[in-house]
Amino acid sequence: MRPLLIAPLCLAALLGACAETGADVDPILDGAPSPQFHSDVAACRSLARSQSQLHHETMASTAIGAGIGGLLGEADSGGDALGGAVVGALAGAAAGASKASDTRRGIVLNCLRGRGHAVVN
Protein backbone atom coordinates (compact mmCIF):
# COMPACT_ATOMS: atom_id res chain seq x y z
CA MET A 1 0.00 0.00 0.00
CA ARG A 2 1.39 3.38 -0.90
CA PRO A 3 2.34 5.63 2.04
CA LEU A 4 0.08 8.36 0.66
CA LEU A 5 -2.97 6.11 1.09
CA ILE A 6 -2.09 5.14 4.66
CA ALA A 7 -2.62 8.70 5.96
CA PRO A 8 -6.29 8.97 4.94
CA LEU A 9 -7.05 5.52 6.32
CA CYS A 10 -5.47 6.46 9.65
CA LEU A 11 -7.43 9.71 9.60
CA ALA A 12 -10.61 7.77 8.90
CA ALA A 13 -10.00 5.58 11.93
CA LEU A 14 -9.35 8.68 14.04
CA LEU A 15 -12.53 10.35 12.80
CA GLY A 16 -14.44 7.17 13.54
CA ALA A 17 -13.20 7.29 17.12
CA CYS A 18 -14.12 10.97 17.37
CA ALA A 19 -17.61 10.12 16.21
CA GLU A 20 -18.19 8.61 19.65
CA THR A 21 -18.36 12.16 20.99
CA GLY A 22 -21.99 12.19 19.93
CA ALA A 23 -22.62 9.92 22.91
CA ASP A 24 -21.30 12.63 25.24
CA VAL A 25 -24.30 14.90 24.67
CA ASP A 26 -25.45 16.89 27.70
CA PRO A 27 -29.23 16.68 27.43
CA ILE A 28 -31.44 19.61 28.32
CA LEU A 29 -34.46 18.68 30.39
CA ASP A 30 -37.85 20.31 30.64
CA GLY A 31 -38.02 20.33 34.42
CA ALA A 32 -35.91 19.00 37.24
CA PRO A 33 -34.01 15.75 36.78
CA SER A 34 -35.27 12.70 38.62
CA PRO A 35 -33.01 10.87 41.07
CA GLN A 36 -32.49 8.18 38.41
CA PHE A 37 -31.45 10.68 35.70
CA HIS A 38 -27.65 10.52 36.08
CA SER A 39 -27.50 6.74 36.07
CA ASP A 40 -29.85 6.67 33.06
CA VAL A 41 -27.58 9.13 31.21
CA ALA A 42 -24.58 6.88 31.88
CA ALA A 43 -26.48 3.79 30.68
CA CYS A 44 -27.74 5.55 27.53
CA ARG A 45 -24.26 6.85 26.68
CA SER A 46 -22.88 3.35 27.10
CA LEU A 47 -25.58 2.03 24.77
CA ALA A 48 -24.70 4.64 22.14
CA ARG A 49 -20.96 3.89 22.35
CA SER A 50 -21.58 0.15 21.97
CA GLN A 51 -22.98 0.53 18.44
CA SER A 52 -19.96 -0.83 16.56
CA GLN A 53 -21.74 -0.85 13.20
CA LEU A 54 -21.38 2.95 13.16
CA HIS A 55 -17.59 2.56 13.03
CA HIS A 56 -17.96 0.16 10.11
CA GLU A 57 -20.21 2.64 8.32
CA THR A 58 -17.54 5.35 8.74
CA MET A 59 -14.93 3.05 7.22
CA ALA A 60 -17.31 2.20 4.37
CA SER A 61 -17.85 5.91 3.71
CA THR A 62 -14.08 6.32 3.55
CA ALA A 63 -13.71 3.51 1.03
CA ILE A 64 -16.58 4.78 -1.11
CA GLY A 65 -15.16 8.30 -1.03
CA ALA A 66 -11.75 6.99 -2.06
CA GLY A 67 -13.26 5.06 -4.97
CA ILE A 68 -15.31 7.98 -6.23
CA GLY A 69 -12.41 10.39 -5.73
CA GLY A 70 -10.08 8.07 -7.61
CA LEU A 71 -12.50 7.80 -10.53
CA LEU A 72 -13.03 11.54 -10.64
CA GLY A 73 -9.30 12.18 -10.36
CA GLU A 74 -8.62 9.82 -13.23
CA ALA A 75 -11.35 11.40 -15.36
CA ASP A 76 -9.95 14.87 -14.73
CA SER A 77 -7.64 16.23 -17.41
CA GLY A 78 -4.67 15.83 -15.03
CA GLY A 79 -5.41 12.16 -14.47
CA ASP A 80 -4.49 12.20 -10.76
CA ALA A 81 -6.40 9.17 -9.51
CA LEU A 82 -4.30 8.85 -6.35
CA GLY A 83 -4.84 12.47 -5.36
CA GLY A 84 -8.55 12.12 -6.03
CA ALA A 85 -8.68 8.96 -3.93
CA VAL A 86 -6.96 10.68 -1.01
CA VAL A 87 -9.30 13.67 -1.13
CA GLY A 88 -12.32 11.40 -1.57
CA ALA A 89 -11.27 9.23 1.38
CA LEU A 90 -10.91 12.27 3.61
CA ALA A 91 -14.29 13.63 2.57
CA GLY A 92 -15.94 10.23 3.03
CA ALA A 93 -14.38 9.77 6.46
CA ALA A 94 -15.51 13.21 7.61
CA ALA A 95 -19.06 12.62 6.37
CA GLY A 96 -19.21 9.17 7.94
CA ALA A 97 -17.88 10.42 11.29
CA SER A 98 -20.38 13.26 11.34
CA LYS A 99 -23.28 10.89 10.62
CA ALA A 100 -22.11 8.44 13.28
CA SER A 101 -21.84 11.24 15.85
CA ASP A 102 -25.37 12.42 15.05
CA THR A 103 -26.68 8.87 15.30
CA ARG A 104 -25.03 8.31 18.70
CA ARG A 105 -26.46 11.60 19.96
CA GLY A 106 -29.92 10.53 18.84
CA ILE A 107 -29.53 7.18 20.57
CA VAL A 108 -28.74 8.88 23.89
CA LEU A 109 -31.64 11.31 23.65
CA ASN A 110 -34.18 8.68 22.55
CA CYS A 111 -32.99 6.29 25.22
CA LEU A 112 -33.56 8.97 27.87
CA ARG A 113 -37.02 9.72 26.49
CA GLY A 114 -37.78 6.02 26.57
CA ARG A 115 -36.85 5.97 30.23
CA GLY A 116 -39.37 8.73 30.94
CA HIS A 117 -37.17 11.84 31.02
CA ALA A 118 -38.51 15.07 29.46
CA VAL A 119 -35.54 15.69 27.13
CA VAL A 120 -35.75 18.85 25.02
CA ASN A 121 -32.67 18.28 22.85
Tens-digit pLDDT profile for residues 54-81: 666 777 777 777 777 777 777 765 667 7
Q: What is the 3-state secondary structure (H, E, C) of the chain?
A: CCHHHHHHHHHHHHHHHHHHHHHHCCCCECCCCCCCHHHHHHHHHHHHHCCCHHHHHHHHHHHHHHHHHHHHHHHCCCCCHHHHHHHHHHHHHHHHHHHHHHHHHHHHHHHHHHCCCCECC
- 21-61 pLDDT per residue, tens: 678 899 999 999 999 999 999 999 999 988 877 666 777 77
| pLDDT for position 31 | 92
In the structure, what pLDDT confidence band is assigned to residue 101 with cuts at 50, 70 and 90? confident
pTM, full prediction: 0.69
Q: Which residues pair with 24 in a beta bridge?
A: none
Domain boundaries, the chain: 37-115
Are the CB atoms for 112 and 38 separated by under 8 Å? no
Amino acid at 43: A
Maximum average pLDDT range among 13-17, 94-98, 102-106: 102-106
